[in-house]
Amino acid sequence: AAGVIQSPRHLIKEKRETATLKCYPIPRHDTVYWYQQGPGQDPQFLISFYEKMQSDKGSIPDRFSAQQFSDYHSELNMSSLELGDSALYFCASSLGGRGTDYEQYFGPGTRLTVT
């Protein structure tokens, strides 16, 4: 079965640079969630989209922005990168949106290293 695709898998950037992470949800899934996972930590919710509209916002820095496109893929844009942004970034996709508890399936993640 098709899974969530994330690209790139690894990314190395310098401080103050910009990074763009991409997520391609499972076909027919209309909801995308972004999570950040630090070393030895649990995933922390950043932001989500349902039907191309932002549906929820968590602990996402103002330096980060995201959007979901007409084909349901999503991009997380990160600017003015800081050392503390080094982490694994996961995208998860699901069916449905508000008020519906559908399963969230995670992608393999993008490992961002800021030097």
The residues that touch another protein, with contacts defined as CB under 8 A, are 4, 33, 35, 41-45, 48, 50, 55-56, 58, 90, 94, 97-109
Do 31 and 45 contact (CB within 8 A), yes or no? Answer: no
CB of 115 to another protein, least distance (A): 20
CB of 56 to another protein, least distance (A): 4
CB of 65 to another protein, least distance (A): 18
Nearer to another protein, 37 or 65 (CB): 37
CB of 39 to another protein, least distance (A): 12
Contacts of 17 (CB under 8 A, 6+ apart): 81, 114
Nearer to another protein, 7 or 100 (CB): 100
The 8-class DSSP code of residue 78 comes to E
Nearer to another protein, 44 or 67 (CB): 44
Q: How far is CA 34 from CA 14, 31, 108, in A?
A: 22, 10, 12
Angle at 69 (CA atoms; ends 82, 10), nearest 5 degrees: 40
Do 35 and 44 contact (CB within 8 A), yes or no? Answer: yes
